[in-house]
Amino acid sequence: MKFEGSKVLVTGGAGFIGSHLVDALVKKGDMVRVVDNLSRGKKNNLKNCLDKLEFFRGDLTDMSVALKSVKDIDFCFHLAAVVGGVDFMTNHPAETCKNILIDHNIIEACRRSKIKKMLYVSTACVYPTTLQKEFSQPPLQEEDALKYGAMPDSYYGWAKLMGEIQCQAYQIEYGMNIAIVRPFNPYGPRESFDPKDSHVIPALIKKAVKKENPFIVWGSGGQARGFTYISDLVEGMIMAMEKSNDVNPINLGTDKATPIKELAELILKLTRHNIPITFEKSKPEGVSSRKTDVSKAKKILEWKQKTELETGLKRTIDWYLNEC
């Protein structure tokens, strides 16, 4: 399914991932509408193409906003969500549960408006914690989310899993054309560097650039993640909209997990901050290891990550130095 020149909605389009997706869609000639409440997103993220799109500020917990957003739309990329780093999701579980309502409203609005197709952007947080306890455990496959019983790592993960189930229910009852992707630890320019809700890479970059002493890393440093550079993720999402023809989720990430200790050492090297790392083991660190099986993405989408971690970190650091 090609959609060049179509009317496309991106919910959460002023956010980190959404704004990069919007740039790509505008570049290929789509007529793009963005809806965002700007609680986390920024209009400045859209400065490269703001004059070429329709921007609508609104909160998708309000059904009337969702209905207004999808009016006359052909395709919807649904990214809008209440999200943050491990500290935010640990201390604001009720806030993240708003995603159940956001997802319901936009899915129902898309149904009423009879859009051609919707892409639901889920999360790697839907996977059971029991499958992420050891570095040696195999990469997560899509069916693992429910194969052994649902046990996401946070209330955010539970809410996004319920979003997937809503998508499946609407496909069964109404025949809606919906694709689902599960991004794994995306990073890159425009990500939030606010300590209140930042993820691990921007948090460590900010500390390193500011030459913080001591240089504190949450947890033991042994916890590992497979990081996905933003341009690769955007490419995968567009491919999923074009090529995924059912409501079964597809992982977008890497099967190569990097321990946080190695990540911190690489960031220190790239920022020329020569200092020992202090691990604050009393702080939350999330699951021990998270990496993904990408065989489904390779087979169905012909997608794989292209950007090496060091290259992506250099680009992110350069952006931070120039923009923040």
Per-residue pLDDT reduced to its tens digit, 184-240: 999 999 998 887 778 899 999 999 999 999 999 998 999 999 999 999 999 999 999
Domain range summary for the chain, segments of one domain joined by +: 7-187+228-254+291-307
Question: What is the pLDDT at residue 195?
Answer: 77
Average pLDDT for the chain = 94
pLDDT (tens digit per residue) in 229-240: 999 999 999 999
Q: Are 208 and 269 in contact (CB under 8 A)?
A: no
Cα–Cα–Cα angle for 271, 273, 278, nearest 5°?
120
Cα–Cα–Cα angle for 110, 113, 118, nearest 5°?
30
Question: What is the pLDDT at residue 91?
Answer: 83
pLDDT at position 4 over 80: no
Euclidean distance between CA atoms 283 and 215, whole angstroms? 14
Position 154 confidence tier, pLDDT thresholds 50, 70, 90: confident
pLDDT at position 283 over 90: no
DSSP helix/strand/coil, 124? helix
DSSP bridge pairs for 292:
140
Euclidean distance between CA atoms 273 and 149, whole angstroms? 44
Tell which residue, 149, 166, 132, has the closest CA to residue 249.
Answer: 166
pLDDT at position 90 over 90: no
Euclidean distance between CA atoms 48 and 62, whole angstroms? 29
Position 181 confidence tier, pLDDT thresholds 50, 70, 90: very high
Tell me which H or E stretch contains 220: none
Please enumerate in sequence order all residues whose Cβ is within 8 A of that of 212, keeping only pairs 6 or more positions apart, or say none: none
Q: What is the mean pLDDT of residues 264-286?
A: 92
Record: fold of 7-187+228-254+291-307: Rossmann fold (3.40.50)
Half-sphere exposure of 231 (CA within 13 A, CB side): 10
